Amino acid sequence: MGDLLRRRWRRILIVVIIVAVLGGLIFGPVAVKVFGTLAGLFAILAIIISGNDGGGGINPHQYQSGATGGGGAGGI
């Protein structure tokens, strides 16, 4: 009786492992694509909602040499 029960649990364990591996191989890439797409859409939506407030970007006027002429790196 004990040997039969042990073989049954071993068979169940093997089937569970096989199903888990096959499920991971099949549904894993699908889940990655779905969550990646949702993350991309969320990022685009966040950019659109935040708008362009001018903060955090590169200021093109930061390193100009000014009205005195001069050259070089001016302002660094």
Domain boundaries along the sequence of the chain: 1-50
Per-residue pLDDT at 3 exceeds 60:
yes
How many residues can be counted in the chain? 76
The pLDDT assigned to 18 comes to 95
* Span 54-73, average pLDDT: 58
For 11-50, the pLDDT digits (tens) are: 999 999 999 999 999 888 998 999 999 999 999 998 888 7
Per-residue confidence band for 6, with pLDDT thresholds at 50, 70 and 90: confident
d(CA 2, CA 20): 27
